[in-house]
Structure formats: structure tokens, C-alpha cells
Structure 1
Amino acid sequence: MSGANKAIPEYLSEDTFNNLLLQTFERPAQIRSLQVIPQKSFGNYCSDIYRVTLKYEINDSSVDKSDNDKAGEVAQRAPANGEQRVLHVLVKDLFENLSTISNEKFMYAQVLPEINKTLRSCGLQPISPMVYYTLKTAGETHFFEDLTPRGYVIRPRTIGYDEDETRLLFKRLGEYHAASLIYTESHPAVQGKMRQFYAVSDPALELCIEDQMYDNIEHVAKIMETWPGYESIIAKMRKHTREVFRSKFLPLFDASQAKLALVLHGDMWIANLLLQYNNNDGKAEDAVFLDYQNSCYGSPAIDIHNLFMTSVQLSVLAHSYDDIIAHYYAAFRSTLLVAKYPVERIPTLRCIVDELHRTDYFNYYLLIFPFAQTMLSDELVKGMNFNKLQDKQRVALNRADIYSNERVLETYKYMLKAFDERGLLG
């Protein structure tokens, strides 16, 4: 086993990968080589990530897809070298202090297999990577198919998605939400099985979010004092107390208030989304969603806001919003139709738009904290985690970096005026 400078955890051993192969193929396999390489953090504050290249041999006859669907799918994809095959695995080790509020194990074990089954039945691609193995460590560790060798990439956080990429992602989000609605209606008890990340999570986490929100507001308000025409907006932002924030923010996640509720991804932003591009024209042609620990039951508007506000270029957000929402809805509706969902019960575009309006305040939070945090430079984002959000010296350094970014300032100038016009700051 080999790795980079960071120590490799003991549980990433040959015994673990022998168990992974046995579970995947349901027959003995022999490991020929095993390489584990720690990955640097470029935006994932919740986990340690390891990339694994596993060369192995199956010790009996070839894998029969009819015998084991997952094994057959792996065998079709894995390149062969003589009798050896290669399995590319991405290991995600969720930090222990977050495992108690994570829904990822539940999502990968129960929800996503059914959602992907529905998508396949509609002639669509799965929305999540294949899970080979799950291990209970100090936190929670999942072993996924590494999609990098198949050409899937994460786009740079500080650039954001252009219009073509945004359209593809919202098409895939519409497909996911359609399959999720089907799952939700056939599993009505799912709401009670999912922890709510924001509304009923962890008091310490809620306090951390509030601290970041209000310190960011004050920091940006001082910058805005140099912007003519923003005086009334600054005053409204500074009157926006913690009590006001709680009274407006937490009810957004009350699913009983939603016209439409289903199982959400819960953390739709650029570091959790993989795109695959066409080799001929360079256009994005598929997308897969990662990191489901914040998944919850609620309004689809939460996912829509999250993707738009944190990860889409301002020109797309400013000029193509309504058209892309219609594009999302077309994918949502067409997936339900192919799945033979009753036509008379398909939620309308008006229903989606009403939910976007009802939860619009979420965008203010996303702009002030999550969007700002996504724009942290690559150098400073290395090794970032939630613990470092408590380090005042490090946070001050981060803010200076974030609010020197021209994209951040231009987005704030545009969105804060838009929010004021929509009454979000009053």
C-alpha cells in the first residue's frame, strides 16, 4: 500500500478491500496491488477523502451479470490487463462529530438505490455513484466508484457554471426530484427517518451558522459603505437581528408548509456535482450528484435555490433564471410521465414557482454565508473544516480573501438590490 504525506488510516487495509471485493462480486478475489492516496480538500469541509486503485483477480469463472447486477456493472466498466482487473474507488470518511446528523448512510442504503432504479426504468442515467461498501469507523466511511477515470470532473468553485452547464444540471435535478417524489409517495414514513440539517440539528451548528452570517454581514456592510446608493440596504441588513433571522430562516424547512415535499439532495453546490463532457464538442453531457449527508425531506425549492445561488455564474442567474426553471420543470414533468405517474397529480410549474417564492429568504442566507465560503481561494481552502470556522484569526483571513474577489462583490451588488426589491431585507 502506498500514499502521500498524510497517514493512511488502519481500516484502509487489504482485509477491508478483500471484504469489499467479496461483497461486490459475491465470490473470492485476490488483490494484486493496492494504492491509497489521500486527496487534498478543495471545498469539502466534512470528510477526509482517499483515492484507491485496486488491482485484483477473480478466482473462478467470469462474473455473470444476471447473478449479481452490481458485479456485472463493475465488470463491464473495469479495464482488464490480462487476467487482472482494476477497480477505482473513492473513499469518503465523514468526520465523527458530523456522523450523528448525517443522512448519507440512509440515503445510499435505502433511498438512492430506488431512485436510481426509477431513473434507469425511464431510460435515464443514475444520479449517484455506485457504492461498493460501507464501514462504521469513528465516523462513517463509504467506498464509492471513482468516476474520475470515466471523465467526470468537478468544476472550479470560483468560476461557477455557464449557461449550458447550468441547464444540464437543472435537467438532472428535475429528473432526480421526479424520481424522489415517486420514492417519497411509496415510502411515506421516510419523513420521520431523516434528520433535518438546519431546523432540528445541533444547537452548536446553528450558533456557528448564525455567527458566520452576522460577522459576514458586518464585514460586507463596511465595504458597502463605499458603494453609492446602498445606504438603505446597509441599514436594513444591520437591523436584521439573530431573532429575525431565526424567525424567517427555520420555518423554511418545515415540510408541512410546503405545497410539494420530497427527499432532497440538501447540499447542491459545485463541490458536490460531477460533470462529464463530450470529447468531440466539449459540451457537458452528464452530471452525477455526490455527498448526501445533508439530505432531508422538504421543498424542492431548497435544492433549486442552493444550486443557483452558490454555483451559477451571475450572468446566468440574472438573465436566464426563469427559462432554466422552466427547463428544470420540463425534465421533472417528463420523467414523471415516462414513469407513468398519474398525469392529474403531477405538480404544476405554478406549484414550483410558488415554493420558490415562499422560500426566497433562503437565498439571502446562501449569499451571505455559503456562496461567500465557496469563493475562498484554493490556497486557503486547503484543510478547511468546520472546526476552523471557530478560529477567529483564520476566519478573518478568509473574509479578507473572499471579499477581495470581484465576482463576490459584483454578485453582492446585484443580488442585494434584487433582494431589497423582493422585500427579503425588510
Structure 2
Amino acid sequence: KELLSRILRKKHGEVILKNYRMNMAVKAGENYMSEMYRVHCDYTRPSDSIETLHSWTVIVKSMPLTEMRETLAEFDMFGYEVEMLTNVIPAYSKFTSTAFAAECFHAFEEPFKFIILEDLKLSNFTSTNRKNGLDYDHCKLLMEKLGKFHASSILYTAENEKKVKTKFESRLFHPNHDNKHMRTFFVNGYLALLSTISERPDIFSSNLVAKLQNVKESFVAKMADGYQKQIKVNVITHGDLWVTNIMFKYDEQTGKPIDVIFVDFPMAFYGSPGVDINCFLNSSLQSDVYREKCKDLIQIYYNGFHEVLNENGYKNIPTFEDISNEFKQKLFHGFVISVSLLPLASMEKAIEDTGEGKQLDAIWDTNEMSSFRQSTYSNVNYLNQLTVETRTFHLYPKLHPIVFLR
């Protein structure tokens, strides 16, 4: 209560916290790295002539000590997110007035890992329906802001190069870290996809099955390159940029999206911008947007990217061709996303919680995964996405070992 009182006073001046209560901020299964709670605070102001009860909310993001999360401690994901929210992203305000994330009020390591954040709903941001995919208006906003986000990180890195390269070195698939659970998650997704298309010759060609089988032996190594291999342009990535980690604000009159903001940064790392671009494009778009607007969206990304760097007088701004090459060189990461995050985004229903914060364990546990894969990878939403003829692998077939063919 004392901590909440301090936060309240910082935001609202001299106030008195009367009571508070908590409830889940997201549905079970919608957030796989943490538990999210909304804390409702009721307070009064001594300056009021008549005592009036005011209300305010904050978000508490916690990481319960389940078996899976203890394993993920190897990657210091909590530390990455705290660094992003308390030091890195606030520093971006030096380079642009664009808001990228919620304000972080407090972060704790012990006895439990949790973060107290601004409730973005108070600023009229809301989550979107993940299984429907985003239309072009949503995607334009996202890609422009992502470009500005990456550009800001380049400017920040120019002033803090040693810190960034040390702190944000990717631990995913790094030879010095245990990656068995991550490897299981992605490989199981690949095998589930292979099984699904093999059993549906009415939809997928034998040629596609053969192409997917050919990459079997090199899948893990190519997947690791997505996180570990740097090319020419390097930024601090979001690292997990898909529809569940994005919130939009809408015009009250037209209902059209007017702003977007990012949430959840435990996967942030220093690497290619092509990782974030491919992650978003391969997990969160409506199929017609992917088919018709993919190249346009990369140009919109670059416009935002160039704008921030140019306004800050940055020398040697990467060209559009540089960014396009980053995208193309990370196409295999796009394929990895298609066999891991896209099925989750396409699910009709989220995985139900067991009441003990087990969503992440259920997704990555081998026993749980068998039934989960059967229902998820045969989902009609997912199959419709896979049968789009002009996904990235078709747009750039010579640059990628996988070509999606009907």
C-alpha cells in the first residue's frame, strides 16, 4: 500500500490512498511470458472542499516461479524488460516525441519479480483481436512507429555502444546458454507444420512437403542465425513483435486507428531490424494485406526510420536497400514465426489457464503440446494464412529455401 501511495503522489500530487483491489488484466492464455493484473486505486485529495473518491489504475506485471519461468531466468528476460522500460526507451525521448511504451513506475527483483506500469487503457489504448489479423490502416501505423523505434535505438547506441552491445547481446540460441526449451518450442512447431501439410494433399502440394523436409536438418542452425547473425544494420529490437504485444488508439468519431504502442520487451536484443519486421509481417497481418501491401509496408517503415535519423543529424543513414536486405536476409526468421507465433495468433481460443500461471508451460511442455498442436495447426484460420500464394517466401523465392506453393 505504501508503494502505491508513493506512485499516486508522484502522479497526482498530495493524495490519500483509501483502498485498492486487483483483477486479471488479460484473459488466461493471452500472455505467455507473465501474469498481468490491473490494480484499482481509490484515493481522496485533501484539497477537495468536499471529500470525493477518485479512481486510478496501474498494471502489475509479474513472473510467477513456475518451472518454465525458472528455466527462462537463464535468459534474464525480466532484466531485459526492466532495462528497456526504465532506461532505454525513456532515453529515446531525446530523439523523438513519439511514445513507444507505457511508463514504468517501479520494478522489483526480490522476493518476486514484478513491474508496475502505466495502465494504457486510461489513454484509450486497447488490444486488438489477434485471430483476425490487422488491416492496412493498423499496419501502416505500426510499421512507421517501428521504423522510428529502431532509428531511436541507433541514436541511443551511438551514445552507449559498449553498454548496448553487452547488455542486449541475444542469449537465444547462444552457445553459452541452455536453449533446450526454446529449441523444443520452435522445432515442435516446424514438425507440426510438416505433419499438417503432409496430411492435407487437398490443400498443399507434394512439392511444398518436399521443400519443408529438405530444411529439416538445418532448421535449428538457420533459426539460431535469426538471433545471432548480424548483417550490416543493427538496432535494439523489440524481439517479440506480434499482435498480442501491440495496442492501438482509435478516433472516437471514425473508429480508425490513430496511434499504436508496444508492450512486453523481455525478448529485446541487439541485432537486425529484419527480425522485428519479419516477426510482425509473418504473424499479425490479414492475408490480403500480406499479399498486396508487404513491400509498401517496408517502405513506410523506412520513411519513419529515415525521418528520426535525419532530424537528429545522423551521418551515414542506412539506405532503403540496406533495410530491404536486412528483411531479405532474415526471411528464414519469418518462416520460423509462421510455424510458431502465427498458429498462436490464429487460434480460435487462447489456452486456458490452470489457475497457477501455467500457460507458458502448457505451450512448451512436450506432453501438453501434442493435443495443443493438433488443434492449433489444423485451425482453419492458420491454414488460410498458409495457403496465401504470395507470402514472403513467394515474393523472394530465390532468397529462401522455402517457397509456399498451393
**Same fold, judged at TM 0.5 (above):** yes
Q: Could you tell me which residue of structure 1 aligns to residue 18 of structure 2?
A: 32
Q: Could you tell me which residue of structure 2 aligns to residue 419 of structure 1?
A: 393
Counterpart contact for 1:99–1:140, Cα < 8 Å: no
Q: Could you tell me which residue of structure 2 aligns to residue 65 of structure 1?
A: none
Counterpart contact for 1:224–1:234, Cα < 8 Å: no
Tell which deviates more after alignment, 134-143 or 276-285.
134-143
What pairs up with 1:168-247 in 2 under 5 angstroms?
Answer: 168-189=141-162, 190-200=164-174, 201-227=177-203, 230-241=205-216, 243-247=217-221
Distance in 2 (alpha carbons) for counterparts of 1:264 and 1:85:
38
Shift of 1:28: 6.5
Question: Aligned to 2:102, which of 129, 152, 158?
Answer: 129
Q: Could you tell me which residue of structure 1 aligns to residue 339 of structure 2?
A: 368
Q: Could you tell me which residue of structure 1 aligns to residue 121 of structure 2?
A: 148
Q: Could you tell me which residue of structure 2 aligns to residue 346 of structure 1?
A: 317
Q: Could you tell me which residue of structure 2 aligns to residue 78 of structure 1?
A: none
Tell which deviates more after alignment, 414-423 or 288-297.
414-423
Q: Could you tell me which residue of structure 1 aligns to residue 83 of structure 2?
A: 106
Q: Could you tell me which residue of structure 2 aligns to residue 4 of structure 1?
A: none
Q: Could you tell me which residue of structure 1 aligns to residue 138 of structure 2?
A: 165
Distance in 2 (alpha carbons) for counterparts of 1:35 and 1:252:
42
Question: Aligned to 2:293, which of 300, 311, 320?
Answer: 320
RMSD: 2.6
Distance in 2 (alpha carbons) for counterparts of 1:213 and 1:244:
15
Shift of 1:361: 0.8
Counterpart contact for 1:301–1:356, Cα < 8 Å: yes
Give CA-to-partner distance per residue, 1:271-318, whole Å, 9 cap, x none.
Answer: 110100000111100111000000000011111111111111111111
Q: How many residues align?
A: 384
**1:340–1:41 Cα change, 3 Å:** farther
Whether 1:279 aligns to 2:255 is: no
Question: Aligned to 1:44, which of 15, 31, 55?
Answer: 31
**1:375–1:170 Cα change, 3 Å:** same
Distance in 2 (alpha carbons) for counterparts of 1:210 and 1:37:
32
Whether 1:15 aligns to 2:15 is: no
Counterpart contact for 2:186–2:336, Cα < 8 Å: no
Q: Provide structure 1 residue ranges, at least 5 long, that are not aligned to the other structure.
A: 1-13, 63-80
Tell which deviates more after alignment, 309-318 or 40-49.
40-49
Moved >6 Å (runs of 4+)? none
Q: Could you tell me which residue of structure 1 aligns to residue 57 of structure 2?
A: 88
Distance in 1 (alpha carbons) for counterparts of 2:239 and 2:350:
27
Shift of 1:84: 5.0
Tell which deviates more after alignment, 109-118 or 277-286.
109-118
Q: Provide structure 2 residue ranges, at least 5 long, that are not aligned to the other structure.
A: none
Counterpart contact for 1:46–1:95, Cα < 8 Å: no
TM-score (norm 1): 0.83
Letter in 2 for 1:252: G
Letter in 1 for 2:345: T
Letter in 2 for 1:45: Y
Give CA-to-partner distance per residue, 1:7-39, whole Å, 9 cap, x none.
Answer: xxxxxxx234234446x3597652112121123
Tell which deviates more after alignment, 412-421 or 374-383.
412-421
